[in-house]
Amino acid sequence: MKPYYLFQLDPAPGTSHFLVRINRGLEIVSQLRTKLSGLALPVYSLDLPEGGGKVALTPDRIVRHEPGWVILQDDAGKEYRYPEV
């Protein structure tokens, strides 16, 4: 069985204690790359806010950081604000 996706948690009431910063998630995936074969490595993904859809979460997806927010970009270049814990 291949673990296809590893999703960044969607912010929702009562789940804040499970949230991991996006940069930390990227670090975890980077560490997994050194331990797992490509077949066993899930795609780190995020469901963009406002119906932006699911995207693979890679360092180049991050446009900038603002206080309390990470600004992400979809494939079409549209920017989305994602809360940073």
What is the tens place of the pLDDT at every residue in 13-64?
998 889 899 999 999 999 999 998 888 889 999 999 888 999 999 999 999 9
Domain that holds residue 47: 5-83
Number of independent structural domains in the chain: 1
- Which residues, other chains included, contact 42 with Cβ-Cβ below 8 Å and sequence gap of 6+? 2, 3, 4, 5, 6, 32
Q: Is the pLDDT of residue 82 over 70?
A: yes
Q: Is the pLDDT of residue 66 over 70?
A: yes
Under 8 Å between Cβ of 57 and 20: no
